[in-house]
Amino acid sequence: MSENAKLSLPDGQSLELPVLTGTKNEKAIDISNLRKQTGYITLDPGFVNTGSCESAITFLDGEQGILQFRGYPIEQLAAKSTFLEVAYLLIHGELPNKLQQQSFVDRVSWHAMIHEDMRHFFDGFSQNAHPMVILSSMISSLSAYYVEASGKASIENLELNSARLIAKVTTIAAFAYKKSVGQPFVYPRDELSYCANFLNMMFAVPAESYELDPEIERTLELLLILHADHEQNCSASTVRVVGSSMANVYASVASGILALWGPLHGGANQQVVQMLQQIHDDKAGISKYIEMAKNPKSDFRLMGFGHRVYKNFDPRASILKDACDRLLNKLGTNDPLLEIALKLEETALSDDYFIERKLYPTLDFYTGIIYRAIGIPINMFTVMFALGRVPGWIAQWKEMHEDPKQKIARPRQLFTGQTERSYKPMDDRL
Ligand code: CMC
């Protein structure tokens, strides 16, 4: 039986609004006809209470710490799956069978090279350019090379364009790193797995081949899986908003990369390690930083803590904490920053400020320590997040275009500026 919510407005109007129920019994009030019927709009800064779409990709219960991709718990995917399998699942809705998996893997390998002309684009960036800028510019430049990427064709050829994106993003990321350290680019190799190929492009040099450690390869696979999607976050919403104007999938994903870069979103992983390093170098102890984070007059925030949706624990953080322990033990690395991170976590989790506000460590709190152990430099951390998130962005973009209710994203505003006034000549102005 359909349910309705009743809305009474100050001007005497009253309205019945349909209540929709998701498959997990989540409730939403459908206000899509509100303005048409009443002239009113809703106001919700940061979209804290606003569902922007119906989605069947990722389920996230922040109170219970549940994350599922297409119904599969993240814990099972993390333990049993490969990144490309998860990418296929997110985009197509089902786990691939053997044949589908093999053809997807082959397709991704096939498309890993970038157009040779694009190599020269890297020359135009300064050596200090942040790799997120390079990544976003290069991904958006891909639109210039593929006619199948323009307008409606971008939707019709999504199979091809998504394989290209998932493949080329690793090559571009590794080339951006090579540029920053002044080393020659290492081309992709078809015989290597997705993660092994990326590690090889990052760390091999002409004088010396890269010796792949299977533990590092598996940990990278895990990291990418954990980052693969996270429903309607800032970058996924950006990809949908940009895509809703019929911008092509490369342009939309390039915008998502830039949204991800911000320190309150994907950029937090770089900030966490910078914060841990600062605490380490300062020697004043962690309590100084806990107090700064609690002080309303200070801008300082405990990076890697707090999430708009997770208000209990981030299941990805629990998986990563174990992976971090395993990898550091295997590599025999004794990272003083891990010790600081563990102390910080313990102190914050027993402090009323953090308990009352339900601020828990997110996956960003541990990723940096793992990346350091693998040898990935700090300015590449957010790029690593982006590599993992590409399939999620593609899945969100695809779902948006397949939704018959889809419209160009165009929010309203409550205007609070000057009402009409007459133009003042320059000489009359103070
Ligand atoms: N350290 C100290 N206080 C915090 C923190 C923090 N990391 N996060 C939130 N608070 C406080 C905040 O000051 C506010 O206190 P009060 O109610 O007294 O004003 C309260 O907690 C609620 O914070 P909010 O900013 O209103 O919450 P939000 O949902 O808008 O923000 C957040 C979520 C992730 C932006 C925020 O928790 C934050 O800035 N965290 C640090 C940055 C970070 O680690 N971001 C990565 C998020 S996970 C990766 C991703 O999905 O992008």
Residue 357 CA, chain-centre distance (Å), reads: 23
Distance CA 6, CA 16 (A): 5
The whole-number pLDDT of residue 308 equals 86
Give SS3 for 231.
coil
Q: What is the pLDDT of residues 9-61, one digit of tens each?
A: 999 999 999 999 999 999 999 999 999 999 999 999 999 999 999 999 999 99
Q: Which residues contact 140 (CB under 8 A, 6 or more apart)?
A: 250, 251, 254
Indicate whether residue 389 lines ligand 1 (CB < 6 A). Answer: no
Q: How far is the CA of 249 from the centre of ligand 1 (A)?
A: 30
Give catalytic residue positions. Answer: 307, 364
Q: How far is the CA of 307 from the centre of ligand 1 (A)?
A: 6
The whole-number pLDDT of residue 284 equals 87
The whole-number pLDDT of residue 244 equals 96
Distances (CA, A) of 234 to 100, 225, 239, 304, 377: 31, 19, 9, 16, 25
Q: What is the pLDDT of residues 229-262, one digit of tens each?
A: 999 999 999 999 999 999 999 999 999 999 999 9
The whole-number pLDDT of residue 310 equals 87
The whole-number pLDDT of residue 1 equals 65
CA within 13 Å, CB half, 262: 9
Measuring from atom 34 of ligand 1, which residue has the nearest CA?
307
Q: Give the residues of the chain that fall short of pLDDT 50.
A: none
Indicate whether residue 301 lines ligand 1 (CB < 6 A). Answer: yes
Indicate whether residue 233 lines ligand 1 (CB < 6 A). Answer: yes
Q: Which residues contact 285 (CB under 8 A, 6 or more apart)?
A: none
Question: For a substitution probing ligand 1, which of 359, 365, 389 has the most ligand atoms within 8 Å of its CB?
Answer: 359
Instruction: Work out the angle at residue 366's Cα, subtended by the Cα atoms of residues 235 and 322, and round it to the nearest 5 degrees.
Output: 120
The whole-number pLDDT of residue 155 equals 84
Question: For a substitution probing ligand 1, which of 305, 364, 365 has the most ligand atoms within 8 Å of its CB?
Answer: 305
Indicate whether residue 355 lines ligand 1 (CB < 6 A). Answer: no
Structure tokens that stand for 206 in this block: 């002409």
